[in-house]
Chains A and B, each alone.
Chain A
Amino acid sequence: MKFLNSKNIQTIIIIIAVSGLLFLALSGYLTPFFNLTVNPLISLQSWISVRYISARDFLTTPRDITVLQEQNALLESQLTQLQTQLIVMEERLGEAQVCFALLDFGRTNPQYNYIAATVIGREISPFLQYIIIDRGTNHGVLYGMPVVTQQGLVGRVDAVIAGAARVKLITDSTSVVNIRLKSAGIEAQLVGSLTGDVSLDMIPLDVFVDPGDVVLTSGLGGNFPPNIFVGQVLSTQRRENALFQTASVQPIVDFESINAVLVVSDFESVDINPLIPEPEQ
């Protein structure tokens, strides 16, 4: 009977109560009670937590902004340096590509010798289409030498000094180039214009010219070597009562963004003007 003293009875009652509560909790009978008591606690915890985080952010953010600003400035500085390096590398890559292309043109056209030159300026008057290159008589450039790029015909040396030369582009309004159309098999004249557009003139009316036909130099007149690519025919125009038809040409060379050229140094242009009979007065 010693076992049934008051202390042991109290322990047994607590164990039974706890077991009962556990049994009731595990079997889900206490869920409404828990919801009723725990949910307000969670809400209170959330409320306090949000306020704490806000207060902490408020107190610590200024320091973070300063750090972030420093980091941002550092990163911006690094970005600027990298962009500068990128621009330099792109410029070098562009120059290398131009050099490779010019070299490739020289290899594919080995019958001529070339002098590579950089475009350093343009004609001041908007009525004329000329470029200025950084090679002159000191480098072997002479008056009348044809000028090309890896793509095709550019023009002809119009004036030259010791260290520079002026090149008349084929787009100039006073420029006339004797050409031949590859597919049509005829010869015509390529003329420039005030706006820099080029067109074909002196095409016989009985010839059908396909858009896309390739325009090459014919070599007639002695100003340019034959078979240099000039461009492609865009469209033809026939005027009523005209003796010849005309055609618009898309030049292969982009004259607006031309940076480097090749001067054909061993081509001697022929001045045929003395051979042309003057009209009788």
Chain B
Amino acid sequence: MIYHLLYALLLVVFFVLQTTIFSQTKLVSGTADIILVLLAAWSLQEQAKNRWLWTVITGILVSSISAMPYFAPLIGYLGVVAISEALQRRVWRSPLLALFIVVFLGTLFQHGVYVIILKITGAPISWLESLDRVILPSILLNLIFSLPIFAVVKDLVGRITPLEVEV
């Protein structure tokens, strides 16, 4: 139960930070998606439970506020957690390496989904410009923010683990 409360609290805090601060902090035209990084860091915690449920909740929450059509953020976040699940079995001994791979591939997947959906809806954007101006800068920003966010999540999960055992 306490893990759910912790994630809900983290989600609210990260959501507010994302819409108010991180969406305005641009590198070229790319921005960091700290909610994606939070999901990646959370899904790599062994103690985390109901990852898919929280991913769906996160995706629906972000989709409700985002102008992206067809629940694109939800699709992107499901992809991130799927990559995390697939990688955890292979590189679980090195969580930092796994984190970087999940954030890199997850951001690439999410933005790929965004571009495809925007192209379907008729937005005049090109793959090359998207990659050059948005996707690569966003990946770099996400990788930069992934370390501190992972440290915070790992620390918080580590702190509440004894409480969970007592409960």
Chain A residues engaging chain B, CB cutoff 8 angstroms: 120-128, 130, 132, 158-159, 166, 168, 173-174, 191, 194-196, 256
Contacts and interface: CB of A to CB of B under 8 A. Distances in A.
Contact of A174 (B62, B122, B129, B130): B122
Contacts, number: 77
6 contacts: A123-B67, A126-B26, A126-B138, A128-B67, A174-B122, A195-B133
A166 B24 CA distance: 16
B129 A194 contact: yes
Given A173-B124, A194-B125, A123 B66 contact: yes
Interface of B: 18-20, 23-24, 26, 28-31, 33, 35, 62, 65-68, 72-73, 111, 114-115, 118, 121-125, 129-130, 133-134, 138
A263 B122 CA distance: 27
A127 B122 contact: no
A29 B75 CA distance: 109
Nearest to B76: A125
Most buried by B among A121, A128, A194: A194
A166 B65 CA distance: 8
Contacts of B118: 127, 173-174
B67 A173 contact: no
Contact of A173 (B20, B33, B125, B138): B125
A211 to B, nearest CB: 24
Contacts of A158: 67
Nearest to A197: B29
B23 A122 contact: yes
A130 B20 contact: no
